Amino acid sequence: MRPRTILLIALLLGVWAVERWGSGLNPLHWSFGADGRNCQLVAVVDGDSLRLNCQGKTVAVRLHCIDAPEKQQKPWGNRSREALKALAPQQLELVAIEKDRYGRTVGDVYTADAAHVLLNLEQVKTGNAAVYVQYCEDKRFFRAERDARKAKLGIWSRKGEHQTPWTFRHSR
């Protein structure tokens, strides 16, 4: 086969794989260690926001794909923040995806240890955040939220406005 034909076949297989298995295969969500920036935790702002020190620069980070209760959504906002504090070690890896309208880096944040835990996903798995549907296409998050709802974890333990932080923000 000619190299051009092989390249075309590989490209088509790649497109098919993304369509078949979803955005978990989206290169924007991949982390290979070197692609992420090693950072130190400065502060947990709330259940979906952190301040990190990455190579001497303070970076405001908004966790991709999730929306956690606001601080004013008592007690859920505090619970979500405390859960993220408990999850986040000092050493983290930031995989930046984009900037939001407030200039924050939106990204995936992993523990920098061998477990390489995705904090964003853990917040959803434990019921401490909801999937921010309009900004997420990663099926892992939707499965995690469905499981947390079924198990009545965290914000899913009882009905209320705390389950939709985006509605709370717009109602004030």
Q: In sequence order, what DSSP letters do the residues of 4-23 get, joined into one string?
A: HHHHHHHHHHHHHHHHHH-G
Residue 10 has φ and ψ, to the nearest 5°, of -60, -40
Residue 7, Cβ neighbours under 10 Å: how many?
Answer: 11
- Measured between alpha carbons, how far is 37 from 56 in angstroms, rounded to an integer? 12
145 is a catalytic site residue: no
Residue found by looking up tokens 């979500």 in the block: 80
Extract the tokens encoding 76: 């859920």
Which residue in the list 62, 79, 81, 140 is annotated as catalytic? 62
Q: Tally DSSP H helices, then E strands, for the chain.
A: 5, 7
93 is a catalytic site residue: no
Which residue in the list 37, 51, 82, 104 is annotated as catalytic? 104
Extract the tokens encoding 11: 């490209």
Residue found by looking up tokens 């999850």 in the block: 87
122 is a catalytic site residue: no
Q: Just list the catalytic residues.
A: 62, 70, 104
